[in-house]
Structure 1
Amino acid sequence: MPQQLSFELPVKPALGRGDFFVSPANALAVAMIDLWNSWPEGKLALSGPAGSGKTHLTHVWAAMSGATILPAAALPGRDLAALAAGPVAVEDVPDIADDGAVQTALFHLHNLLRAASRPLLLTGRGAPAHWGLGLPDLQSRVSAAHHCALEPPDDSLLAAVLAKLFADRQVTPRPDVIPYVITRMDRSFAAAAEIVDRLDRVALAESRALSRPLAVRLLDADAA
């Protein structure tokens, strides 16, 4: 079938509390977000692989607490005292492992928040003790934070993630697509995002419905 011009709709991730599917793989982290007023010393480190829901839960928490969200790398030049006037979420902390100036800024922000009894949420991949921060005082404080990990997905969570990724693209696959994809895909959030992207692009390019035969064709080609 000849390819046709297609127009991609913007991907708008749904980041509300009701859009987050709770399963055994993430239930503890969700509970800690819901109980944010009870975090030990007012801070939580949230870890998990790419696509596991760290950013989604961060936005859920920000909606509940009124927190400011920013990537760790964006700290330089910010008014740390103004930031510390309310709760703060700092994302992707391991990304600053080789930047002493940014780590110093995060260290000062941490201390300002603690002095003001304001909560701090930190996110990154892997356990905080392995974030490799070169500033010892900062690494020790990060390592001391209560830690919750988003675990690899089970079948129910994978199905929910796939459904959400399609919904973010304003796409509705046929009912038998997701159950089939789950049986054939690598069991990771990154694989789910990659498969949804490919299926959506091919369906758009070929002006086809997002059906099981299309999924079979793409995934069988991967296995060949």
Structure 2
Amino acid sequence: MNATQQIPLALEPRPALGREDFLVAPCNAVAAGWIDAWPDWPVPLVTLVGPAGSGKTHLAQVWRARSGAAELDPATGDAADLTEALGEAHAAVVDDAERLAGQPAGERGLFHLYNLMRERSGHLLLTARHPPSRWSITLPDLRSRLESGAVAALGEPDDALMGALLVKLFADRQLRPGAGAIDYLLLRMERSHAAACRLVARLDQRALAERRELRLPLVRAVLEETEREDASAERS
């Protein structure tokens, strides 16, 4: 190892997950509006739907902090276990709920959780890649209940949101990119939240390992490396 390099510790910074940290744009305004409207929801269930990194988990955590919701995995226990885990809460969050579809225990648990929320006049928030109407659910009663809820979609970011997202991701890591670095990335990188998260993490690691500032030469090198690796992965 070069004497000027150091091995970066595998420590991920905690992202800023407050409501004021969520960047609202046309692609996510409807979903943010549902979170802001709580507790005046006209339905007991809302499902946040969108691709990886689109902000579903961020909004779910904002709502969890605001509502006092319990974060549960319905596949990990029976009805009694879920009731105990829920405690006195009148709200619950299930992340990546789509994975429960087709799992008998998971579907039964989610069905029980939905009914508990109805009995308590509470609310249930789910996150998923696709709306419940596209899940491979085998329990008819669960399907009908999920499809009766509201679906709020989050899309991929536009130019303005992508730039603001990069600024936030760098700030979460206490990084200050040099002049022109963000504009360079916006013109060339994959246009998704997930890609932005991966790229900023990689830039952070490289800058720390090589003790370099985040100026254009480093940004260009890391982005070109990432593109080569992605292209190689697609060919294999």
Calculate the TM-score normalised by the size of structure 2: 0.86
2-side partners of 1:40 and 1:27: how far apart? 18
Q: Which piece of structure 1 moves more, 126-135 or 67-76?
A: 67-76
Q: Is 1:156 the counterpart of 2:160 in the alignment?
A: yes
Distance 1:119 1:97 in 2: 20
Q: TM-score by structure 1 length? A: 0.90
Cα distance change of structure 1 residues 123 and 82 upon mapping to structure 2, 3 Å threshold: same
Q: 1:80 to 1:204 in 2, by over 3 A?
A: same
Aligned to 2:86: 83
Q: What's the RMSD between the two structures over aligned residues?
A: 2.1
5+ residue gaps, structure 2, are 229-236
Number of residue equivalences: 224
Counterpart selection for 2:208 from 196, 199, 204: 204
- Alpha-carbon separation, structure 1, partners of 2:226 and 2:122: 49
Aligned to 1:99: 103
CA distance in structure 2 between the aligned counterparts of 1:52 and 1:75, rounded to whole angstroms: 29
Looking at structure 1, the residues matched to 102 and 66 of structure 2 have their Cα atoms a distance apart, in angstroms, of 32
Residues 74/178 of structure 1: CA separation in 2 closer, same or farther (3 Å cut): farther
Q: CA deviation at 1:83?
A: 1.5
SS for the counterpart of 1:37 is coil
Aligned with residue 113 of structure 1, among 89, 95, 117? 117
Moved more, 97-106 or 169-178: 169-178
Task: Give 1:199's aligned amino acid.
Answer: L
Secondary structure in 2 matching 1:190 = helix
- Structure 1 alignment gaps of length 5 or more: none
Q: Read off the aligned partner of 2:5 and give its amino acid letter.
A: Q
Secondary structure in 1 aligned to 2:43?
helix
Q: Deviations over 1:148-196 (max 9, x none)?
A: 0001110111122222222222322224211211110111112111211
Offset of residue 131 of structure 1:
2.2
Give the superposition deviation at 1:199: 1.2
The yes-or-no answer on 1:29 pairing with 2:15 is no
Conserved? CA contact 2:25–2:161, under 8 Å = yes
Match runs of 1:49-60 below 5 Å: 49-60=51-62
Tell me if structure 2 keeps the 8 A contact 1:129–1:143.
Answer: yes
What is the 5 A alignment of 1:147-186?
147-186=151-190
Q: 2:47 aligns with which of 45, 49, 71?
A: 45
Q: Structure 2: which amino acid aligns with 1:13?
A: P
Aligned-pair identity (%): 46
In structure 1, how many angstroms separate the alpha carbons of the residues matched to 2:87 and 2:153? 25
